[in-house]
Amino acid sequence: MSQRDGGWVGSVGTPPAEVRARTRDGCLSKLRRAAGDDAVLTVELTPALVGVAEAAAVMGWDKRRVVTYLDRGSFPAPVATLASGRVWRRDDVEAFARSWRRKQDRRRSR
């Protein structure tokens, strides 16, 4: 199962049957129905990953600002550094964005 295009996608069987749903639980439910009642499912979740450009978009920043926060140690650690650059779990960046915005809102309200 993986998160794509605002929903979840999974496959089961040979040849693979693809199922789509808006939620993770909905996708898992459809996979169970497609596999049959007696089937044992092993679910492998693939987290959504983002690079510097996508992380900047989540934050509402430009890429240079993400790098600045990384250099300061104020941004989540990447899960991997590839030849093409650093990558993060999208959920980690979104959680950081929520926390960062709350702090900014508190500073403005003082």
**Of 59, 62, 55, 108, residue with least CA distance to 77:** 55
Residue partners of 43: CB distance under 8 A and separation at least 6: 1, 10, 28, 31
pLDDT digits (tens, 9 = 90+) for 71-110: 999 999 999 999 999 999 999 999 999 999 999 888 888 7
Identify the band that residue 4 occupies on the pLDDT scale cut at 50, 70 and 90: confident
Please tell us whether the domain made up of 49-109 is placed in CATH 1.10.287: no
**Among residues 22, 24, 34, 17, which one has the least CA distance to residue 1?**
24
Phi, psi torsion values for 38, nearest 5 degrees = -90, -5
Mean pLDDT of 46-65: 94
The domain ranges of the chain are: 2-35, 49-109
pTM score over 0.75: no
